Structure 1
């Protein structure tokens, strides 16, 4: 069945044009929920009397919970269908956001963040699986790139939205907005998004079957090469995202409304990379595009270290040129990396995306706890760590190219 026939078979004709937007909104709920509370950190610290290190738990608790549950969202969608998993997870996300809004203690706020993390992956992970269910080849790359472009807006606009909400109300308003976002996504999914995983293609909902699917994915050597290439590539960028409060406020000496200084150029560059990815579909191979992307991330890592080691280390725009080039390279490479990974086990696409996302989240969560607090003592420390991580991603991609060259 062609791409057009697949879409026509499952999607209401009048809503086909809205499907990419809804998928992108579902995909962006994960990163949006990480960054929106950043501007509220000083207010939360003052209200609950916590330290800067404890505030970082607002990010870490969310990421660890997201990672822990992410391994199950995809397999569940392979068994139950895509729509039930998306709708159920977004509904729980809305409830969790409400719990954060009315949390009377810092501990209960963290509990709400854990519940947010456990549920947000259903939208973020399964929405990408839907893309490959419906589209193939160049059209799949274009749509994945388009979704990645809109997805890239989330980290850029999230702290801006958070800062804007603080101008009209208390910090609780940030989480109340997330309740509203969850409600909008539930309605959009019900009205626009079709079920793309037919009953005939589903696997039994049994623990053994879920484990078997995850094991089948984990046994693929190509999965590890591609997944770790994507994990390290995005990990270098997330080093700045997860440490944004330290980088922007402590190192650059800016305020709670100035997170855009980092996020707009870095995420804007990622969006440009996604635009390039979508508009070169069919004009160059995915392998060439990904190689160019990883070259850009390496160049960005080197330039970032160069500026961080100079007297311009905390001056704008020099301090954000390196992170922006890393974002550009990720935007070019990541959509194709995800499509290549999804095609490794076509009957277990949900499990593939869950495993891939699990690696990304675990790495980023561990980095947020064990790496960021130590390297973010200076712009040079951050830049050196980012360079090492981008180099690891490029090595994994080079390994994959070497391992698959004989098949070309």
Structure 2
């Protein structure tokens, strides 16, 4: 933690959380906004469904690859420069998407979008841990998740309306304006939170040693799996939204926001609960609650898809409850990940985001196309994603240093 944190941001904690949330949301927002326009983009550019799926896979793979470097760069040159360059490149890439005349051009600029969008998510996590001690950091991380949920909730509504009234290029035009606006906002408001004495040398050898150290840590890697893979139990349905909502539930593109309303509502509710429980419930207990919720609704989802007539009235709320469980536990696990490398939190955040993004890309490019046409297949795949995270957590929870949980357990419960 930066010893000058109180001077760097003298304002209220929630205002910093809101500022960081605007950075974190740019990645998911740039996915959710254009999904309702899939069919229109395909028709306009003469693209097949598989080629359209590649626009998503290219984004996620580039996001994962560049995430390896955002944090390392932020550890060496500071948090602000990485954010400012990242948002500027994102704005230019979004403009390129809007002007694309072929599916190949769109895939290229979507990959460039992915390479730059991760800067916000990676750096915002490192800033939180720069500025706050553990239990305060959990509250701020929860507030960031809460505020962050507002943007993806409205993204498909905005994207659907822009597509209907102005055409699909207007969606990427909006993203270009948002990227430019964020670059200006962060230039004016975001402080440099990395203490000069904590800056790491920027060299290939130093970076490789850091990645080898983190990648060779079983605790670090397992915590990354525990936080990132269960997210795909919900994200699988987002990736499959054109088929799941359009073909299975027979909803129009302008109604796609029902899915996002449920999932983001669940994330915001879970993040709020996580913040309320910080300092009152032991972190490992909170993680246990989250997995219990995800596991229960995951099993219920399989049973209902197997036995009950399909209906949006139960198919969508189940995903909202699953999202609540994930959001309850992920702030805790994310902070545990960052604390595995206190002198390289940017790199730790990078590697965590990279692992999660690789999982997302595999789900988008491989798993989603395989199961999206089967409701039972979607349900089983979602449950499997939760099970991977649960097994990872069960393995690592007893191998964590005692002080991590003891700090909270020693405080009185409310």
TM-score normalised by the shorter chain: which range applies? over 0.9
Where do 1:281-360 residues align within 5 Å? 281-313=278-310, 315-360=311-356
**Counterpart residue number, 1:397:** 393
Match of 1:259 among 256, 267, 290: 256
Where do 1:169-318 residues align within 5 Å? 169-313=166-310, 315-318=311-314
Q: In structure 2, what is the Cα distance between the partners aligned to 1:52 and 1:317?
A: 28
Q: In structure 1, what is the Cα distance between the partners aligned to 2:28 and 2:89?
A: 17
Q: Is the 8 A contact 1:99 1:112 kept in 2?
A: yes
**Counterpart residue number, 2:69:** 72
Q: CA deviation at 1:29?
A: 0.5
Secondary structure of the residue aligned to 2:25 is helix
Q: CA deviation at 1:290?
A: 0.7
Q: CA deviation at 1:320?
A: 1.8
Secondary structure of the residue aligned to 1:377 is coil
**Counterpart residue number, 1:23:** 20
Q: CA deviation at 1:235?
A: 1.8
Q: Is the 8 A contact 2:51 2:103 kept in 1?
A: no
Q: CA deviation digits over 1:124-172, x for unaligned, max 9?
A: 1111110111011221111000001122233322111101222431110
Q: CA deviation at 1:321?
A: 3.2
The answer to whether 1:114 aligns with 2:114 is: no
TM-score by length of 2: 0.94
Q: In structure 2, what is the Cα distance between the partners aligned to 1:103 and 1:191?
A: 32
Q: CA deviation at 1:406?
A: 7.3
Q: Is the 8 A contact 2:14 2:140 kept in 1?
A: no
The answer to whether 1:142 aligns with 2:172 is: no
Match of 1:363 among 337, 359, 372: 359
Mark the CA change 1:290 to 1:191 in structure 2 (over 3 Å): closer, same or farther.
same
Q: In structure 2, what is the Cα distance between the partners aligned to 1:271 and 1:255?
A: 25
**Counterpart residue number, 1:83:** 80
Q: In structure 2, what is the Cα distance between the partners aligned to 1:143 and 1:37?
A: 29
The answer to whether 1:160 aligns with 2:152 is: no
Q: How many residues align?
A: 404
Alignment gaps of 5+ in structure 1: none
Q: CA deviation at 1:404?
A: 3.6
Secondary structure of the residue aligned to 1:215 is helix
Match of 2:6 among 1, 5, 8: 8
Secondary structure of the residue aligned to 1:46 is helix
Alignment gaps of 5+ in structure 2: 407-414
Q: In structure 1, what is the Cα distance between the partners aligned to 2:402 and 2:337?
A: 19
Q: In structure 2, what is the Cα distance between the partners aligned to 1:255 and 1:325?
A: 23
Q: In structure 2, what is the Cα distance between the partners aligned to 1:308 and 1:153?
A: 29
Secondary structure of the residue aligned to 2:165 is coil
TM-score by length of 1: 0.95
Q: How well do the aligned residues superpose, as a CA RMSD in angstroms?
A: 1.7
**Counterpart residue number, 1:382:** 378
Runs of 4+ in 1 over 6 A off after TM superposition: 405-408
